[in-house]
Amino acid sequence: MSLKLVIFACLVVVIAADASDVLELGDEDFDSKLADIDTALVMFYAPWCGHCKKLKPEFARASIDLIANDPPVSLVQVDCTEAGKDTCGKYSVSGYPTVKIFKSGELSTDYKGPREYAGIVKFMKSQVGPVSKPLASLSDTEKFLAVEEVAVIYFGGDSSLKEAFLKTADKIREKVRFAHVSDEAALKEYSFSEDIVLFRPKVMGNKFEPAVVKYEGAEDKSAVEKFITANYHGLAGHRDTDNAGDFISPLVVAYYSVDYKKNPKGTNYWRNRVLKVAQNFKNDFSFAVANNNDFAHEIEEFGLTYVSGDKPVVCARDAQGMKFIMQGEFSMDTFESFLKELKAGTLTAFIKSEPIPETQGNVIVAVGKTFDELVTNSGRDALVEFYAPWCGHCKKLTPIYDELGDDLADEDVDIIKIDATSNDVPTSYNVRGFPTFYWKPKDGSPISYEGGREKDDFINYIAEHSTEPLKGYSRAGKPNPVEL
């Protein structure tokens, strides 16, 4: 290839990467421009913000799809450090990026949808137009079903079932594409009348489950929603970063190079093998296929650093959140054996854990493998700190916590800490930030500690809540008199 062609190719790549229909607005034109836009998604950002830099390309890609939508959605950016300072102040922007939805220039609501291209597009399409798209003809119906996404359509005229359908659409329009059609040609072509029907994408078609599922339940919004939720992803759905929360444990996931855009045939080759086995365990587990690169961090939680090769790696969580890994190379026989053992409860769970400490101090160090022994089943009260080694607040707290351990060394209460970034934590402990504290009574369930972080705060709490009175402190946390 000549040098000129190389330069031209590079320029094409740069131009394609920069392609965007995002409007950059500031204090001078924000109000006037937004007043002429029916629906706008606005990102308030700072140029130095790492999260903003990550969101910007996703925002740019989404802008191209959404401006072409019917009706269109405009995507807007406002630099809060320069041209848009006053506008950001007007809308109480205190963190970056802050994303909000505007309708005809007026603030509608904070944006709480996904932060990735596909999720942004899907979420914002649901925010415009009717909750269910009216299809006027057979041609409209065919076009609606040609999109490679799940579709739920009501066939027929006005009825109480249609009313329940529309109420359901209004409730979950952000997740599902809804449409309704009464055209006689469409009803005849699809052989439905006064029916709610869920259509799965053609690319997900397989011989182990129907591509079209008709609702047979009552004329009730809750029942219709339950039907859609149960059938939306099918027997082994495509789990991505946008819909991961839809898949509930007990869950079995096959991780490999899932790509329905560039390699649907290769993706379905392995998915069909998962489906063939999974159909015999559909009442025991939920199943999914997922791209190994999209879920690299999740895979690491199972102790796997990288998924190599073409064949899937299978990981599972049971109803209690315990983790299990299928050993050996994927085949339908090994997959079936794994599911049988998982169902029977004969597999050993994987627990991410640091090495067990050889010695302990007055603050006991728990790890993944010893947590049950030291906390759950110890038969003693315990205050547990969940920390991260890099956490500044945790480091500041260390001498206070050490002193607490020393002061309560002779009490029937354990002062415990665990690095929650390097060790598995039971799901009954909701650790979302550091440090997080829980009080674990010896005969009770864990209780989130929301008190102060000084030593006296901890002592007062423990003295009040300990199963047996402390020897050195009253229930009010006052030191008991020392006997001479």
Do the strands 98-103 and 106-110 form a parallel or antiparallel pair, or are they unpaired? antiparallel
Element spanning 56, H or E: helix 50-67
Q: Is 52 a catalytic residue?
A: yes
Rounded to whole angstroms, how far apart are CA atoms 291 and 257?
A: 5
Alpha-carbon gap, residue 123 to 106, rounded angstroms: 19
Contact 318, 342 (CB under 8 A): yes
Q: Rounded CA gap, 29 and 468, in Å?
A: 67
Active-site entry in 52, 80, 88, 315: 52
- Looking at residue 336, its amino acid is E
Pairwise CA distance, residues 365 & 384, whole Å:
10
| Distance, CA of 362 to chain centre | 38
Return all residues near 16 (Cβ < 8 A) that are at least 6 apart: none
Among residues 80, 88, 315, 394, which one is catalytic? 394
Query: Chain-centre distance of CA 387, in angstroms?
Result: 23
Measure the N-to-C terminal CA separation of the chain; round to a whole number of Å.
Answer: 95
Alpha carbon separation from 319 to 20, 155, 324 (Å, rounded): 44, 38, 12
Residue with tokens 């939805």: 101
By CB neighbour count within 10 A (0-12 exposed, 13-18 middle, 19+ buried), where does 383 fall? buried
328: left (phi over 0), alpha (psi -120 to 50) or beta: left
Please tell me the distance from the alpha carbon of residue 102 to that of residue 7, in angstroms, as a whole number.
41
The CA distance from 105 to 40, in Å, is 8
Q: Which two tokens stand for residue 67?
A: 């401006």
Angstrom distances, CA of residue 87 to CA of 23, 51, 100, 244, 331: 15, 20, 13, 35, 58
Task: Tell me if 427 sits within 8 A of 374, measured CB to CB.
Answer: no
Options 10, 49, 80, 315, the catalytic residue: 49
Whether 88 is catalytic is no
**SS3 state at 19:** coil
Instruction: Please report where in the chains the tokens 């079936």 appear, as a residue.
Output: 336
Coil, strand or helix at 274: helix
Name residue 261's amino acid. K
Q: 10 an active-site residue?
A: no
Whether 315 is catalytic = no
Active-site residues, by number, are: 49, 52, 391, 394
